[in-house]
């Protein structure tokens, strides 16, 4: 069976096509990023994002079918992100998908975006097996989950304020980089190999994640360090070193909590997912943890993408699942509530 996957929970419109099987086979995928549209507002404008999804979805689906030489009538099922995410954005994807499902009389699967991120690691590493620990680090989520089997997840730690991606983006903004900025900060940080600046070690005692204290410390450090009298060269060097210290401290907090969870659970297989899993420093530091096996998605499947949604839909469809066509979306949907 051919399964179309649709993602529209935030500012990327993305589609994919899978053939069911064990595991499902990715035939193709397409993505339209809206970064250029939101950059002038310093963040995602939900209404603009929703409108773009509506415009992009038919273009991407038709383009993908043409590329793969497949007719719309060849599609046997459709999977779409039902949550979590921005309500207006989710509604665009779900309305499009439900319309398609009704018109073609095919089943629809409502997919959890976070389950998609987590299982994107399996999509790119078929040798990864349940159970494992998942570190999910994106623009909206920072969680460590115990993934017992497909669909059965327990949240062991989560953030009480910002997500790791937000910590990167807000720091990037303080350094003067346009939204989202996380990847730009990381790229600059990787141009130097040390820094004279220090940030406090945070989150050592608390059970979950919290980035608010670190955010304040980062803001103070930047204000203290920058000097309008600096030459351009000196200012550039300082910015790169500040980026290095900021990246190091965010990554350090994530790795500290992950190591703690490994120790507490005794689970030594780790999957790292979500936009921040594209971070090279995080990948290096987790890969260096001794006596564990760590897995990461391909870079294009770290950030939001259509393949992770089609993958879940194809698996759930093969399990005989199907969702009602009632237009519902869920802005908050912890993966613990799945089965």
Please report, as ranges, the residues that interact with Zn ion according to CB under 5 A: 138, 304
Size of the site for ligand KG4 (CB under 6 A): 18
DSSP state, residue 273:
E
Q: Which does 151 bind (CB under 5 to 8 A by kind): ligand KG4, Zn ion, none?
A: none
Cα 273–Cα 191–Cα 34 angle in degrees, nearest 5: 50
- Of 134 and 275, nearer to ligand KG4 (C-beta) is 275
333 counts as binding ligand KG4 under rule CB under 6 A: no
CA 316 vs. chain centroid, Å, equals 20
Per the structure block, which two tokens stand in for 209? Answer: 């994640």
Q: Which of residues 133-162 bind ligand KG4 (CB under 6 A)?
A: 138-140
φ/ψ of 247, rounded to 5, equals -60, -45
* Sheet order of strands, 293-295 included: 152-158, 142-149, 132-137, 269-273, 293-295
Residue 87's contacts (CB-CB under 8 Å, 6 or more residues apart) are 46, 329, 331
Q: Which of residues 164-223 bind ligand KG4 (CB under 6 A)?
A: 165, 168-169, 180, 182-183, 186
- Of 155 and 318, nearer to ligand KG4 (C-beta) is 155
Residue 216's contacts (CB-CB under 8 Å, 6 or more residues apart) are none
Q: Which of residues 249-308 bind ligand KG4 (CB under 6 A)?
A: 274-276, 278-279, 303-304
- Of 92 and 186, nearer to ligand KG4 (C-beta) is 186
CB of 281 to ligand KG4, least distance (A): 8
CB of 6 to ligand KG4, least distance (A): 15
The torsion of the CA quartet 122, 127, 133, 137, rounded to 10 degrees, works out to -40
Q: Decide if 146 contacts 267 (C-beta within 8 A).
A: yes
Per the structure block, which two tokens stand in for 130? Answer: 């349940």
84 counts as binding ligand KG4 under rule CB under 6 A: no
- Of 85 and 107, nearer to ligand KG4 (C-beta) is 85
> Which of 2, 3, 4, 10 touches ligand KG4 (CB under 6 A)?
10
- Of 93 and 274, nearer to ligand KG4 (C-beta) is 274
Q: Which of 121, 134, 177, 79 is nearest to 299 (CA)?
A: 121
Q: Which residues bind ligand KG4 (CB under 6 A)?
A: 10, 138-140, 165, 168-169, 180, 182-183, 186, 274-276, 278-279, 303-304
């Amino acid at each position: 069976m051919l399964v179309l996957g649709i993602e529209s929970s935030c500012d990327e419109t993305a589609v994919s096509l899978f053939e069911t099987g064990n595991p499902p086979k990715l035939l193709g995928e397409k993505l339209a990023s809206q970064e250029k549209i939101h950059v002038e507002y310093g963040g995602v404008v939900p209404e603009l994002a929703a409108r773009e999804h509506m415009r992009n979805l038919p273009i991407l689906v038709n383009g993908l079918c043409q590329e793969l030489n497949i007719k719309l009538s060849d599609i046997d099922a459709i999977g779409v992100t039902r949550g979590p995410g921005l309500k207006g954005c989710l509604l665009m994807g779900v309305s499009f998908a439900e319309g398609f499902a009704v018109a073609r009389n095919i089943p629809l699967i409502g997919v959890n975006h976070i389950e998609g991120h987590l299982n994107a690691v399996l999509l790119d590493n078929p040798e990864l097996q349940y159970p494992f620990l998942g570190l999910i680090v994106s623009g909206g989520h920072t969680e460590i989950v115990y993934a017992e089997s497909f669909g059965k997840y327990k949240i062991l730690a989560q953030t009480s304020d910002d997500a790791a991606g937000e910590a990167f983006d807000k720091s990037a903004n303080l350094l003067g980089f346009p939204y989202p900025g996380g990847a730009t900060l990381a790229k600059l940080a990787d141009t130097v190999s040390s820094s004279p600046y220090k940030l406090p070690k945070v989150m050592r005692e608390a059970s979950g994640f919290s980035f608010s204290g670190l955010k304040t410390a980062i803001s103070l450090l930047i204000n203290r360090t920058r000097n309008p009298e600096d030459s351009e060269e000196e200012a550039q060097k300082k910015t790169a070193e500040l980026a290095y210290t900021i990246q190091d401290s965010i990554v350090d907090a994530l790795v500290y909590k992950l190591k703690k969870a490994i120790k507490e659970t005794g689970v030594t297989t780790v999957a790292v997912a979500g936009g921040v899993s594209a971070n090279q420093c995080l990948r290096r530091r987790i890969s260096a943890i001794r006596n564990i096996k760590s897995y990461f998605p391909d870079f294009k499947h770290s950030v939001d993408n259509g393949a992770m949604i089609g993958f879940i839909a194809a698996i759930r469809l093969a399990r005989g699942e199907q969702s009602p066509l009632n237009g519902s979306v869920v802005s908050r949907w912890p993966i613990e509530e799945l089965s």
